[in-house]
Amino acid sequence: MREYDVIIIGGGTSGAISGITCGREGLKTLIIEKNSILGGSQTAGMVTPMMPLLINDERLKNISGLNNEISKTNFFEPESLKIKLEEMAVESGVDILYDTVFLESKKIDGDLESVIVYSRNKKIEIKGKYFIDASGDAVLAVNAGIEYEQGRGNSKLSQPTSLRFEVGNVNIDKFIEFLKSLGQIEELEKEGMHTAYTPDKEWPLTPIFELGIVKGLLKIEDAKYFQGFTVPGKSGAFYLNCPELDKTINVMDGFEVSKQIIKGHQTIKRYMEFFREMFPGFENAYISQISNFIGIRESIRIKGDYILSKNDIVTYKKQKDSIARCNWYMDIHGLSKEEQEQLEEEQKIGKTLPENEKYYDIPYRTLYSKNIKNLLVVGRCISVDFEAQSSMRIQPVCRALGEAAGYACKIALDKNKTLIDITGEEIQIKMIKNGANF
């Protein structure tokens, strides 16, 4: 039976960084990934650009493989990132097991001993000293018996899902001129252009979408959220953060999610008809790529040693065992106008703080439950409440959490301790040594 110092379930936004960090720290590490690429939502899910952390001392390296001269810090090209992340993992000495899904875990004396996975027509059991759940749905943590929450209040329903896609052969210059003619004046740089529309307020594209609905090119539900970007290094490409689909589903139900994917494909088909007729520059455009999976904003949240709350977010609470900082707003999709206004009002609580204090800390204690001493959870499934999760789920934070988990495993192994017996302050020392600021 194979055995590793660290086994990571999921090689996505957090998991890939966890693996690279562990490898660079000299740990025998295995990433188990259900897809055949690393990067998760960044690559297979096509979630570009990266939402920026507007914190002056935040470290954010561009690892997209693109020349920094043509790429803003928060913009990247997913296809290059697939290769770059894999190169970094392999160079650090990490083993990667692609096309493999987690089945179950085994425990001994309350802690994890091994995982059983399904790979190429057979079950495989693999032992580990430490485990990192970077699955995006806390599949290892839940299987191991960690308590968790899902949804908001008594409902298991999530935020709306999205199915991203890419359109090719777009005359970007022509489209930018069209947006200018409609009155858009910002975010029109060719290598980082952004435009959007929602029905709850006036946008430059509002009359175009309204006319598209009248003409029958779009259904009303198709136009509830539209957002598009250019991609550095990909001439003629336009990435879409839509269609946004229903929030009235349980994202942990495979049958419901599959129906949403089918619905998304049909919506994309209508979008293309709408684009070709209503967007100058899209006359000869085509669908060049559709995301490999549906974009899920929130699913499972573990109940850890500390639950990061909405109050922590709006008051910019600082924590001595911080392993990441964030100042992204509470970004909850699918709210009513009244709910959105209330949320925006709540986020004004900390507005009197100096600008350099307007961030909150994410403590190490959100990554584990004391019930299992050799397991950390990273990414969107850490111990937070519904509202706090909507803020911390962005890619720079998930990367930082993955990095911190990697250092935690190194510290624990060197000191022959469990993961709950080391501190966030010890992890900070490692992160600062490698360029972070606390």
How confident is the model over 76-96, as pLDDT tens digits?
Answer: 788 888 999 999 999 999 999
Contact between 360 and 292 (Cβ < 8 Å) = no
Long-range contacts of 114-119 (CB under 8 A, 24+ apart): 114/1, 115/7, 115/9, 115/32, 115/140, 117/32
How confident is the model over 129-174, as pLDDT tens digits?
Answer: 999 999 999 999 999 999 999 988 766 677 888 999 999 999 999 9
Confidence (pLDDT) at 64: 43
d(CA 167, CA 320): 46
Upstream peptide bond of 49 is cis (omega within 30 degrees of 0): yes
What are the φ and ψ backbone dihedral angles of 348, each rounded to 5 degrees?
-90, 0
How confident is the model over 231-259, as pLDDT tens digits?
Answer: 888 889 999 999 998 877 888 999 999 99
Inform me whether the pLDDT recorded for 307 exceeds 50.
yes
Confidence (pLDDT) at 380: 94
Give all strands (DSSP E) within 109-192, no chain letters: 111-119, 122-133, 148-150, 165-168
d(CA 240, CA 236): 13
Categorise residue 303: left if φ over 0, alpha if ψ from -120 to 50, beta otherwise.
beta
Confidence (pLDDT) at 420: 97
Catalogue all structural domains in the chain, each as residue range(s) with its CATH number.
Answer: 3-153+299-433 (3.50.50.60), 165-290 (no CATH)
Looking at residue 325, the DSSP 8-state letter turns out to be E
Distances (CA, A) of 415 to 411, 419, 426: 6, 10, 11
Confidence (pLDDT) at 334: 78
Distances (CA, A) of 75 to 12, 44, 72, 128, 245: 17, 16, 5, 36, 24
Q: What's this model's pTM, rounded to 2 decimal places? A: 0.92
